[in-house]
């Protein structure tokens, strides 16, 4: 049985914009096994 999974990610950020790109890259490159 296969199911589509959707995940929402909320990233609170204040005065740390320089880290946002790396943070998003890290999240996108994660492998999720369910």
Contact 34, 5 (CB under 8 A): yes
- Sequence-separated (6 or more) residues with CB below 8 Å from residue 14: none
> Measured in whole angstroms, how far is the alpha carbon of residue 8 from the centre of its chain?
8
pLDDT at residue 28 tops 80: yes
Q: How many residues does the chain have?
A: 34
pLDDT at residue 22 tops 90: yes
pLDDT at residue 29 tops 60: yes
Tell me what percent of the residues of the chain surpass a pLDDT of 70.
82
* pLDDT tens digits, one per residue of 2-17: 678 788 889 999 998 8
pTM: 0.56
């Amino acid at each position: 049985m296969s199911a589509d999974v959707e995940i929402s990610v909320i990233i609170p950020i204040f005065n740390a914009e320089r880290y946002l790109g790396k943070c998003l890259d890290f999240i996108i490159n994660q492998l999720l096994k369910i």
